[in-house]
Structure 1
Amino acid sequence: MKKVKTWLLIGLAAGWALGAGAAPPPGHRQLFSGTWFHAPVADDDCTVCHTVHRNPVGPNLQAPVPELCYGCHENMAARDEVHEPVGEGRCTDCHLVHTSDEKKLLVRRVPELCYECHPPDGEHVARNTLCPSCHEVHSSDTARFLKGERTRNCGRCHADKREGESLHEPAREGKCLICHFTHPDPRFENRGLRGRYPRTAYARYEKGIYGLCDRCHAPALHDDPGFRETRFRTRDENLHARHVRAEPGVACSACHDVHASDRAALVSAWVRLPGKEPVPMGFIAFSTGGTCGPSCHDTTTYVREAPEEELR
């Protein structure tokens, strides 16, 4: 019996392909119409689940579902967060019991199976990211059935966002949700972000256009030409405001990487302008200011009077 239970567990996890020359028993041909087989079916060992004679439990089952399933799959509901069908013993909402054309004996392909209960919206859906890439399907020790702590979960696909000497604070601390939704609606202009943020090098300035950045950074950085709490300024002028409010407005993403950079203050190594090949940023910082160019403009130097001031 131990051998049968072991093969049943492996069979449901991976599915079984019908071996060459195998023949279905008389009267049960419909049970062999799929590509993947439950291990007892593949082994012709029907009595793992069924009694030979009539049984009041159901279609001659050894025990009612889900107790019958848990006889081999005892760990499906063992963790803190349990998927509703598992907790309610509705295994057959998602799994067929004999054969299937889908691996793991699923009723239908993922993610369509998930969409029967969960709404199919969001950027991950639009990019055809499969739900099990991030979520456990039976039970989990983390909220929302995540496969790991949220930061590690994002890092499974987005590890490159933390590669650099200078890291944006949310990226460094793994607080992805400060800026991002996990299931954003692709119909919205800023589908993955929690506020407005131009993704182009140029953007005509208007109130609220940098709403995402304003969640953490002072709006005066782009609103107030006289704002002094920044190291990117001359003695009298806030150079962030000059760039952003120019015509056409220079967007944050023209000069800064948003996640990580090998340069201080997330300054990009390259300037990427529409319709042009990338050119080196040419930015050099020094204790009392910096030099930039030639890229968008001729080489220009700015000087402020307080080198120890904190960059904003």
Structure 2
Amino acid sequence: MEGNIPSFVQQGVRIKGESQMKILALIFTVMIFSASCTLPGFKKTTEVKPSEVTAHKDCNMCHLPHKMGGGILLSKPLSELCSSCHQARIGAGEHKVGIKPSMPTEGLPLDTDGKITCITCHDPHGAKGYESLLRAPSFTELCKKCHKNY
């Protein structure tokens, strides 16, 4: 990619129809995302605690907006991303990760293989249980999303 021009444009590849619209939508989204991470009030750095991401909007802590791979544009695979800052905490919680749930997860996200991961219980984007970035206001309420008799 030269400057801000995607390589498929530089090479003169012609894309028509629905594919063209999808690519244009992706480019537009990336441009907007990139701009929002450099606007006043947004820090552009990788030297921040993940627990501060919500407060400071440090997108580049976890995302690479110019990584034209689609999806959520993570800078590393999810398991590596969380463990890069939370090495001492992995497994410190009461729930295992990397396993397929044996019960419905009530809308909680799983990884691409359908396994429980850090973001199944933790949400770095404005979680309700801020201190642990939980996807529920408390540990008890979070557990009850899957474990009905908890």
TM-score normalised per structure 2: 0.49
CA radius of gyration, larger in: 1
Q: Which has the higher helix share?
A: 2
Q: Which has the higher strand share?
A: 1
More relative contact order, 1 or 2 (CA 8 Å, 6+ apart): 2
